[in-house]
Every structure is written in C-alpha cells, then in structure tokens.
Structure 1
C-alpha cells in the first residue's frame, strides 16, 4: 500500500470490494452507473488494474479508479471519490497511481472520456497534462451527455536516428 494523499493509502481492489464499489458507483454516477456485473468484469478483465483509496485511520474506501492497458496505450476507465472526500486530493492521488502504473507497463499514451459538464474532473485531468482531442456527442447514456476525449503522452517517441556516418570502407572510391 502506498500513501499518496494525506491520510489515504492506495491498494489494488478485489472482488471483496464489490459491494462497496457497487454502492459508490450508483451514488456517484446515478443512471449511468456500471452494474455490479460490469464492475466485477472490470476488476478481473485482462489488462485491467483497479485501485482504491482507503483512509488510514478507518480503512474505509473513499475512492476508486481503474486503468486498461492494451499493450501500447492505456485508458482511464473510471475515477470516483465519495462525496465527503471530494476536493481533498483523493482523485489526484488515484490518478497519479494510474499514471504511475501506465508508465510501469510501458504505455505510450493515456486516453480517457469525461463528461463535458464535469468541471472538477476536467480541471483534475488538465492539471495532470491531459489535452482535449474531441467531443463525443451523447456518449454518456441514458443521460445523453457529451464527453470530451482527452489524451496524455507519457513519453515522446524517439527522434529518428541520424544515418550513421560512412566509414572508410563505405566511402566510394573516386578514380
């Protein structure tokens, strides 16, 4: 476990966390919440990595986040912080954990979608260096709310190598 925000440790989530995750998901995302089955599939899916933020003092889960990695790029699947712990650095700590994991597995870029009306999340992602790429109309259902697609390059691709200088053996003989 790693302490990333004052008084909050981050640890991987397991199936045992599903009842709390299911409740938080409905509280935080309403009609657009993932089902318990979808959450279980996410926790155990290939290339998935889910973590929870837990209060050190109580062990209570106060936030959660997930990342998907396809072997090249990563995608932030979700970040949620309980209402009582928002604006306390928990979301930033969870995002930092996701980005750290993406770097560890060698992701070149991280992508995400975020509701266009979620100003706190937009500020969080933009502070982390994400840039808006485009808008997906009606992405969030059943609310029919648009999403911004955002990206973050984790590393710049290497510059093309200069051609090697010719050796004496490669130089054309002029006669």
Structure 2
C-alpha cells in the first residue's frame, strides 16, 4: 500500500467511494473533489493498493500561520479494504502534519459511527459537542471533536498551501 497526494485524475474515484460510504446523504461529486484539490490551504492524499485508490482524506489549514489549526474535511476507506490499517495510515499522516505545525485538529463525525469515533479517540480526539442536523438530507447529527496540540515546540515546515 502506498500513501500519496491526490490529483485531478483521482476525483472520479473519490466521488465513487463517497457514493458507497455515504448513502442517503449528499456525497461529494467529482467536480467538488476537483475544486477541493486546488484550494491553496487544502491537502488531499490517499492510499493506493495495487493501483486502486482505496482510501482518501482531506485536511485543511485554518487560522493563520502564527496560530494554525487543522480540520479534517473528509476521510474514507473502501468498505472492501477496511480493517487493513488504511484509516490508521491516513490518520498517522494527518496527526504528523498537525504535530509539525504545533496545531490542534478538528473534525465532525456522524453520531452512531462508533468505529470512527473509537479510532479518533485513540488518536487523542475529545468530544466537544453536537452539530444538530449536520448531515443532509438525512438530518443526522454529528459529534464535533478536537485533538489538542501534541507537541511542545513548533517546528517550521512546509504546510499544505505553501508550495
């Protein structure tokens, strides 16, 4: 398995996975991914297995360079490839980026998605609150979660969007 940056050509596969992973909601279409990939403060990467994209994640830099924060925009693993460490590989990368920038990470996760919630807790995320009717059109609620800064001193590195 290989972790790599996503590009325009990956948008269709990401949209296909969204349809599978988020039935009954408003999954992102190919065009949404294409637009997301070119935003200067977003970083999208995925996991490829034998030439097939089997996982994807999007991370956004928020705030400013003096007090950065990150937000997980999306993360998903092909159901046929779950429980093989793909989610952990992506989360390790997300947390590493935030740690290099001495920054917290925020996310929303569907109420009832216990596997994801447990994974986030294992990465140090804590529950902040509930966003009512977050997912549409179902109206499902989302937990908001935050992982506090995990490093003691900021390290100067390149951040998504600083290319």
Q: Which residue of 1 aligns with 2:48?
A: 54
In the comparison of the two structures, how many residue pairs are matched? Answer: 148
**1:56-107 per-position Cα deviation (integer Å, ceiling 9, x unaligned):** xx12111001100023100011110001111111111111111112223x15
Q: Which residue of 2 aligns with 1:115?
A: 110
Q: Which residue of 1 aligns with 2:77?
A: 81
Q: Which residue of 1 aligns with 2:157?
A: none
Q: Which residue of 1 aligns with 2:160?
A: none
Q: Which residue of 1 aligns with 2:22?
A: 29
User: 5+ residue gaps in structure 2?
Assistant: 154-163
2:145 pairs with 1:125:
no
Is this contact kept in 1: 2:106–2:144, CA < 8 A? yes
2:27 pairs with 1:38:
no
Q: Which residue of 2 aligns with 1:65?
A: 57
Q: How large is the Cα RMSD of the aligned pairs?
A: 1.5
Q: Which has the higher contact order (CA 8 A, sep 6+)?
A: 2
User: 5+ residue gaps in structure 1?
Assistant: 1-7, 159-175
User: Which one has the largest radius of gyration?
Assistant: 1
TM-score (norm 2): 0.85
4+ residue segments displaced more than 4 Å: none
